Structures are given as structure tokens and as C-alpha cells.
Amino acid sequence: MDPLRNQLTDPGVARLLAAFERLRLLDREVPAQVVAVFLYVASHDKCHKQAIEEDLGMTTASASRNTDWLSDTHRLNKKGLGLIIKEVDPTNKRRQQLRLSAKGKRLIQQIKDDLYE
């Protein structure tokens, strides 16, 4: 019988996998776009949704869907992940400003710990 191959060959990539698995604990089928938007908000605190659209090459609908998934309320009134807070930009009422929630800050710190410790 052929033994199962599971020998670790790259500890750096294993740390990246552990960090990604933290996100999958919240939703086992989280799409890559949602992960990208979360990491973008974590690295660009108080960014505009339009910046995500431009920098990540997303449509308005896609950026809205992904930020909804990351906020408290997902589509069709389903519970979101609660990782970001969406609020009206006080300097331009037509724009949404995005920042990490306390839960999102804890998660990003855990991810950084996985990657860098």
C-alpha cells in the first residue's frame, strides 16, 4: 500500500496555510475575493470601497457583495462575518469608508502571529 505523503517541506508556506485556515474557521467556503477584500481593508484602514474596486479590479456589485459578507449583515439578511465596519465617509456622504471591527483586528493579529512568529 502506498503511504500517505504529508511531510512538511516548506514551513513558510505552512504558516501561510495556518493563517488562511483561520479565515476558513469563520466560513469553510469563504471565496478568495472575500479574503482579498479583508486583507485590503486590514492593510488600508479607513479605505473607500471605490479604492477596493480600483485596486483589486472588482466591479461595484462585487465589491459591495464582498464587503457585505465581511460586515455584520450579508446578502438576504444572512449573518455576515463581522470583520469590518462599513460607515458613511464624513467628508463625502456618497462614499463608504471601511475599517476593521474589533473582531477583525483580533483575527488579523492572529494571522500576523501565524505568519511572523
Digit-coded pLDDT (tens) for 4-41:
888 889 999 999 999 889 989 988 989 999 999 999 99
Given a contact cutoff of 8 angstroms between Cβ atoms, the answer to whether 98 and 90 are in contact is no
Q: Which residue type is seen at 4?
A: L
pLDDT tops 90 at residue 54:
yes
Q: What is the CATH class of 11-116?
A: mainly alpha
- Domain ranges, ordered by start, for the chain: 11-116
pLDDT tops 80 at residue 99:
yes
Residue 6, pLDDT score = 86
Helix 60-70 with 49-56: angle, nearest 10 deg: 120
Residue 76, pLDDT score = 75
Using CA atoms in the order 69, 38, 67, 89, what is the torsion angle rounded to 10 degrees?
Answer: 140
